[in-house]
Amino acid sequence: MNYMKTFTAALVAAIQCLVAISAEPGKTDGESRACPLVFINSTFENASPLFWEINKVGEVEVSLMYDHERSSPNRAAGHWHFRVEAPKGSELTLILGNLQNIYNGHKGSPASKNTMSFVSADSRSWQPAQMELLEGDRLKLKLKMLGNSMYVARLEPYRLSDLDKFLQAIRPHPRVTITEIGRTVEGRPLEIVRIGDEDAPRRILLRARAHPWEPGGNWVIEGLARRLLKDDLQSKAYLERYCVFFMPMANKDGVARGWTRFNVLGKDLNRNWDVKSDPHLCPENYALETWIEKQIAAGRRPDFMIDWHNDQGGRVHISRPNIDLKAYLAKMKRFETLLRQHTWFTEGATGGNYRNPGSIGEGLLERYGIHACIHELNANRIAGLDDYPSAKNWKLYGEQLCEVFYRLFEKEKTD
Ligand SMILES: [Zn+2]
């Protein structure tokens, strides 16, 4: 009997030890709560660099990594995309930190009471998840595990593989031409896609994804391209009036690595457009600038240009550099009116003496006379639809833009 008692006591001690080991990550002072987290995977395409630890009360503290601007105090973390592993049915509390960014030399944070996140069991179908703002620019997210792993992302991701699939799908279409115009710092191809006839009366240039955390423009461009390639009477009418050129993903290296703002050499692709691009530090901008100059030399200056971004405001940024702005401001006013009439856009445009020197909108206007602008897309809410910003809603915006462009050039002689 003594032998049995000793054996039982040893067994109980061993089980207690195992329980203690399994609860180890969150265990301190006997007050800790167990945390069901098994692992966070952030090694896949577009996953954000991070580290994590479990705090005393069993919450998972996720520390995002900043990317930094060259020769500048600026730093940015605002993209998150990772896969949580924990038993199906369990619930976790995630706290995202390191969101204390420096933007244009000033403190700024993507964390606000309205900041959204998205969650998915399969990384294809995403659901919105409201976060709670905590002190220190941190964000809290309650995550219910619908399987043994769940994806969490700032916005519905648009990865390089999504772009490759899209380009593969449209490439055979007779109205599509895809041209490689350069390579990123890490050697990824930079494409210009043309839809329509390059000798169409008007030419529109679009760029997406200068900043990797901002996928909105990619979804808009997909919606627009697919509408123009429908081969119905309406799309034929559109393409008789204009053709569209787009650089679908300017900062491919940053997107691949899950970065937030800069290219891998610390350059902001929406800065320094007031001077010639550096081909070594900033080949992504150099390729586009060279292409634009060739287009102008061939008599094909873009008539209108939009650079797509995401922020918390969703406005069109109209810059007012010190040049004759009469035709430009008239065009932009007309553009805003048409957006309000034919799309879900309600956010408005920058007024007064707004300037953003070095942005592509102001740079292309000042240097080449191209009617260019930055178009932000609100990353937290689409007011005009009273809905959250989803890929579906952004693709719809792209479809609606085809009509806006059509009407923008309707009375071109009076512009
Ligand atoms: Zn941006």
Is 263 in contact with 68 (CB distance < 8 Å)? no
Is 249 in contact with 288 (CB distance < 8 Å)? no
Q: Average pLDDT of the chain?
A: 93
Per-residue model confidence as pLDDT tens digits over 286-329: 999 999 999 999 999 999 999 999 999 999 999 999 999 999 99
Is 364 in contact with 305 (CB distance < 8 Å)? yes
Could you tell me what percent of the chain has a pLDDT over 70?
91
Q: Tell me what the mean pLDDT of segment 121-136 comes to.
A: 96
Q: What's the 134 CA to ligand 1 centre distance in angstroms?
A: 24
The ranges assigned to domains in the chain are 35-153, 160-414
For residue 282, give Cα distances in angstroms to 270, 289, 296: 11, 11, 21
- Look at the pTM and tell me if it is higher than 0.85: yes
Is 270 in contact with 362 (CB distance < 8 Å)? no
Q: What is the largest CA-CA distance in the chain?
A: 104
Q: What's the 374 CA to ligand 1 centre distance in angstroms?
A: 9
Q: What's the 145 CA to ligand 1 centre distance in angstroms?
A: 32
Per-residue pLDDT, 52: 98
pLDDT at residue 413 above 60?
Answer: no
CATH architecture of 35-153: Sandwich (2.60)
Q: Which is more confidently placed, 69 or 16?
A: 69
CATH 3.40.630.10 fits 160-414, yes or no: yes
Is 247 in contact with 225 (CB distance < 8 Å)? no
Q: What's the 260 CA to ligand 1 centre distance in angstroms?
A: 9
Per-residue pLDDT, 32: 65
pLDDT at residue 33 above 80?
Answer: no
Per-residue pLDDT, 27: 44
Q: Which is more confidently placed, 100 or 27?
A: 100
Per-residue pLDDT, 17: 42
pLDDT at residue 23 above 60?
Answer: no
Q: What's the 49 CA to ligand 1 centre distance in angstroms?
A: 19
Per-residue pLDDT, 10: 56
Q: What's the 208 CA to ligand 1 centre distance in angstroms?
A: 9
Q: Which of 273, 264, 292 is nearest to 67 (CA)?
A: 264
Q: What's the 209 CA to ligand 1 centre distance in angstroms?
A: 8
Question: Residue 26 — very low, low, confident or very high, per pLDDT cuts 50/70/90?
Answer: very low
pLDDT at residue 386 above 50?
Answer: yes
Q: Tell me what the mean pLDDT of segment 2-8 comes to.
A: 56
Q: What's the 290 CA to ligand 1 centre distance in angstroms?
A: 22
Per-residue pLDDT, 414: 47
Q: What's the 210 CA to ligand 1 centre distance in angstroms?
A: 7
